[in-house]
């Protein structure tokens, strides 16, 4: 059976593309180090005016709990603004921070 070089190159490209897309995902552990329930977590690249959608994969993150967060937005930026919103009965106000998420393995939001 004769295999054409174009077919081999196209097949190799399909194998390489998903691996490259995964390398752009930012993954870190988010820990709720506050005494309040975290209900929403937003991120947006620094310089973007609007918050993107809530990326907390659970309905809430209780005090002391952790969750793995994946930002799979396909961007090649590292600096993100973060916004944390807490339960309405909480004494905590909405908290914001900016971090280089490429270098961050874990982040703990605190009171």
Bridge partners (DSSP) listed for residue 85: 40
pLDDT digits (tens, 9 = 90+) for 31-80: 999 999 999 999 999 999 999 999 998 999 999 999 999 998 888 899 99
Between CA 84 and CA 67 the distance in angstroms is: 14
Q: In this predicted model, which residue has the larger pLDDT, 6 or 19?
A: 6
User: What is the residue extent of each domain of the chain?
Assistant: 24-110
Residue-level pLDDT at 7 = 47
- The bridge status of strand 26-33 relative to strand 106-110 is parallel
Q: How far is the C-alpha of 105 from the C-alpha of 103, rounded, in Å? A: 7
Query: Tell me, what's the pLDDT at 104?
Result: 85
Residue with tokens 């081999």: 8
Please state which CATH class domain 24-110 belongs to: mainly beta
Q: Give the C-alpha separation, 34 to 41, whole Å.
A: 14
Q: What is the mean pLDDT of residues 102-106?
A: 89
Tokens found for residue 28: 């870190």
Q: What is the pTM of this model?
A: 0.76
């Amino acid at each position: 059976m004769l295999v054409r070089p174009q077919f081999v190159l196209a097949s190799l490209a399909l194998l390489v593309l998903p691996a490259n897309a995964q390398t752009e995902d930012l993954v870190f552990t988010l820990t709720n180090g506050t005494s309040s329930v975290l209900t929403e977590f937003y991120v947006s690249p620094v310089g973007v005016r609007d918050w993107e959608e809530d990326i907390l994969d659970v309905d809430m993150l209780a005090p002391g709990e952790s969750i793995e967060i994946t930002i799979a937005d396909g961007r090649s930026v590292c600096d993100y603004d973060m916004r944390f919103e807490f339960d309405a009965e909480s004494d905590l106000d909405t908290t914001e921070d900016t971090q280089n998420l490429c270098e961050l393995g874990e982040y703990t939001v605190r009171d």
